[in-house]
Amino acid sequence: MNPKTIIASTLLLSAVPAIAGTTAPTLGDTQLVTTTDSGWRVGASMYGWFTRLDGEMVLRGTTVPVDVPFNKIFDNLKFTFMGLVEVGKGRWSFMSDLFYAKLEPATRNQLGTFDSQIEQFIGNFAVFYRIVENPATHLDAYGGARVNWMETDVDISFTGGRNFNESADKTWVDPIIGLRVHHDLNDKFFVRALADIGGFGISSDITWQAMASLGYRLTDNASVGLGYRGIGTDYTSGTTTYDVISHGLLLGLEYRF
């Protein structure tokens, strides 16, 4: 592995078990929902996402290959926060999905010493409209924005005396459109899926997401779910490029009342 791969942890965007992963509460299979007498629905979702990262970054003309396997995600994680809230009434709902992580990856090998500090925030905001609704199936279309902020400080001292120091602070917003579906297989098992695409060259050249999961109802109010999710982002601004795919297992607990 190229030692500069350490910078790739910047991609934690989707790289740690995350709460709220990117654009819909169905991502999580962990959902808390309250329905009031007025017909309003209020929900909060949480889930774990165990991922690996593949791709590359470019900082000031230096290409950094990305290869972060599943078993390395927690090694350098210092702090993370994730949360999602969705409010709806009738066929409409609004979702806000927030993610923040701070890492301080450091390593040393025969090629040199590598130290960095990475902070990243991702906010997904979307409006959903239910286009199909029956007792077994719900199909929603959604559109919104994915807000990204990344700050990276990197210090690499190569064996032989060459040094590489760089800082990057980037914020960008991508429009997104997508679909999500929930289908009950029977009174115990259900499946969920979503897919979205965005960017369209406005900020990122392209950003996309896909998820599928299988859920099991433990009680009328509680269920568990297991699935798989992938997110890809190809963003370039000046001398900074962020071209990474994050993918891995989802595991969640859902409660409704």
Q: Which of 71-85, 173-187, 195-209, 220-234 has the lowest mean pLDDT?
A: 71-85
Q: Which of 11-20, 75-84, 211-220, 246-255 has the lowest mean pLDDT?
A: 11-20
Place of tokens 């559109």: 143
d(CA 250, CA 227): 5
pLDDT band at 7; cut points 50, 70, 90: very low
d(CA 94, CA 87): 5
**Mind listing the domains of the chain with CATH numbers?**
3-256 (2.40.128)
Summarised one tens digit per residue, pLDDT across range 142-180 is: 999 999 888 877 777 777 777 777 777 889 999 999 999
Give the DSSP per-residue string, 99-157.
EEEEE--EEEETTEEEEEEEEEEEEEEEEEEEEEE-SSEEEEEEEEEEEEEEEEEEEEE
When mean pLDDT is compared over 3-12, 14-23, 179-188, the highest value belongs to 179-188
Q: Is the pLDDT of residue 45 over 60?
A: yes
Note the pLDDT of residue 140.
97
Q: How many Å is the Cα radius of gyration of the chain?
A: 19
pLDDT band at 23; cut points 50, 70, 90: very low
d(CA 256, CA 254): 7
Note the pLDDT of residue 65.
62
Note the pLDDT of residue 199.
96
Q: 50: exposed, middle or buried (C-beta count within 10 Å: 0-12, 13-18, 19+)?
A: middle
When mean pLDDT is compared over 21-35, 55-69, 96-110, 236-250, the highest value belongs to 236-250
Residue 134 vs residue 62, higher pLDDT: 134
